């Protein structure tokens, strides 16, 4: 799979077959990948790209500014990066604490469309992971809904990399339940972002409608 455009066709077919008619958004995760490979994917019709590091993302945005790309920030967000994320991205998938909300809201340009926000949940309660605890979701969601310039769209999670598929499936199911609860209270909620290269089909079977795929599209990351 050295040709990203060819890999894209194959990933899209696998997504379509797991989704059996539902619509699923593919976010191509370009972290540590060269802009040339991203350009090849964009030329092949891929429009949503995810990045973990603000500086790397902004450099790529400049290099690819002739293309109609939708930029997703998916990495851990530090408070000193809220301005760049609010100004330079279309989506933030990794909001995990309330204290970032005012800065994100303040820095979103008033004439821009709202920043689409997913709350990241630490669904397996791993000490090393970012993400809020499940019970913190309602308060964080309310803060986003109340903030001008931000639009609450749903939830994101990265389950623990359990080798047993059934443990991951259980984590995806807990996320699905949280998602349905949130959707019941907030009508703008429509997105559940779960699943990466090695488990996106499982995530889709369990209800994800956005998947974030890096290595299965681009090959191994050249520098980590």
Ligand X SMILES: *Cc1c(COP(=O)(O)O)cnc(C)c1O
Nearer to ligand X, 53 or 149 (CB): 53
For the CB of residue 110, give the shortest distance to ligand X in the complex, in Å: 29
Nearer to ligand X among residue 188 and residue 215 (C-beta): 215
Closest distance of CB 114 from ligand X, Å? 22
DSSP one-letter code for 99: G
Shortest spacing between CB 75 and ligand X, in angstroms:
6
User: From the CB of 73, what's the least distance to ligand X, in Å?
Assistant: 10
H/E element holding 155? Answer: strand 150-157
Q: Which is nearer to ligand X, 189 or 216 (CB)?
A: 216
CB of 159 to ligand X, least distance (A): 11
Q: Give the pairing type, strands 48-51 and 25-29.
A: parallel
**Closest CB to ligand X among residues 10, 185:** 10
- CB nearer ligand X, residue 125 or residue 146: 125
The H-or-E segment that residue 191 falls in is strand 191-193
By beta-carbon proximity to ligand X, the closer residue of 16 and 53 is 53
**How far apart are the C-alpha atoms of 43 and 81, rounded to whole Å?**
30
Residue with tokens 């040339």: 36
Give CA separation, 18 vs 2, 124, 171, 177, 187, in Å.
24, 24, 18, 20, 26
CB of 165 to ligand X, least distance (A): 16
**8-state DSSP, 132:** B
DSSP notation for 31-44: TTS-HHHHHHHHHT
Binding site for ligand X (CB under 6 A): 29, 31, 52, 74, 158, 196-197, 212-216
Q: Which residue has its beta carbon closest to ligand X?
A: 214
Can you tell me the distance from the alpha carbon of 26 to that of 193, in angstroms, rounded to the nearest whole number? Answer: 10
Total residues found in the chain within this entry: 224
């Amino acid at each position: 799979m050295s040709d990203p455009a060819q890999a894209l066709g194959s990933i899209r077919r696998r997504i379509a077959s797991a989704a059996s008619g539902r619509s699923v958004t593919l976010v191509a995760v370009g972290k540590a990948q060269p802009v040339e490979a991203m350009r090849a994917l964009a030329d092949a019709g891929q429009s949503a790209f995810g990045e973990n590091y603000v500086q790397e993302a902004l450099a790529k945005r400049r290099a690819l500014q002739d293309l109609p790309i939708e930029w997703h920030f998916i990495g851990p967000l530090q408070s000193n990066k809220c301005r760049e994320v609010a100004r330079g991205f279309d989506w933030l998938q990794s909001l995990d604490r309330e204290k970032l909300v005012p800065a994100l809201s303040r820095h979103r340009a008033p004439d821009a469309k709202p920043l689409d926000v997913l709350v990241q949940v630490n669904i397996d309660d791993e000490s090393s992971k970012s993400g809020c605890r499940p019970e913190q979701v309602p308060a964080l969601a309310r803060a986003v809904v109340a903030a001008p310039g931000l639009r609450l769209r749903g939830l994101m999670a990265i389950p623990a990399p359990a080798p047993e598929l059934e443990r991951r499936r259980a984590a995806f199911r807990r996320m699905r339940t949280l998602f349905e609860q949130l959707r019941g209270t907030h009508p703008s909620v429509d997105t559940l972002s779960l699943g990466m290269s090695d488990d996106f089909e499982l995530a889709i079977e369990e209800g994800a409608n956005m998947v974030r795929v890096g290595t299965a599209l681009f090959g191994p990351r050249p520098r980590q």
